[in-house]
Amino acid sequence: MSYDALNAAIDRFFRCYFNQLQAPDPDTLLNFLNALHGLNDKLKHESGRDLFGSSDFIALKALRNLFHHHLELVHEARIIPVEELPAMTTDLIVVCLVPRSLVERAERETDRRHRDQVRSAFTTFKWYGDVANIQPCMFNVAVDLFEAVADLDVAPVSEAYKAFEGAYQLDKERGLPHRVTGDIWCAAGSVGEILQTVLGQRSGRPAQRNASKIDK
């Protein structure tokens, strides 16, 4: 079986993944989410597989659907290189911050039949008060995708895919986990308070404090 369309979708996804790390902005976030959505469709069509067993995918798909219908909302997210934040330590080079109000809207606009599943999936985000860092989900869903196609007769050719494959194999050789925790530590102060302040500063308004419906 030829997987030409699937190969192209895999290459596009991993290019979007690395673009979101190297030059992050709302456009790279939206491109990543759209590439993930499209790749899952191609995967289902060409192999009969999908990513609906991944909570990371379900959570990100719900956000993608919200942005698809309300494009302006993607600008409420803030993708920030860790080096630009106050002294913090984490296992990724960027954070992607989303306010709780936006996540809760994505839940409300999900079809009622799938709302409980989406609400549960949103707990995979890394919550700090009313701010979620979704970057760990973005990394881990890339691992989910890589593993989902590993035993198919696919042959992606992009440098981005090859770079991810090389990093995955290196972790395997070293006995390291393929997925990240996304935990953040800071030398002083509350991580949640710092991230809420950063989100408010970047958006030009204070970060909202809403009633919690999603576990922190």
Q: pLDDT by residue (tens digit) across 177-207?
A: 999 998 887 765 567 777 777 676 654 443 3
pLDDT at 35: 98
pLDDT at 209: 34
Region 75-101 average pLDDT:
86
State pLDDT tens for residues 136-156.
999 999 999 999 999 998 999
pLDDT at 184: 82
Contacts (Cβ under 8 Å, ≥6 apart) of 14: 142, 156, 158, 160, 161, 163, 164
Q: What percent of the chain has pLDDT over 90?
A: 68
pLDDT at 213: 33
Between the two ends of the chain, the Cα-to-Cα distance in Å is 45
pLDDT at 1: 53
pLDDT at 137: 97
CA distance 183 to 58: 21
Region 23-31 average pLDDT:
93
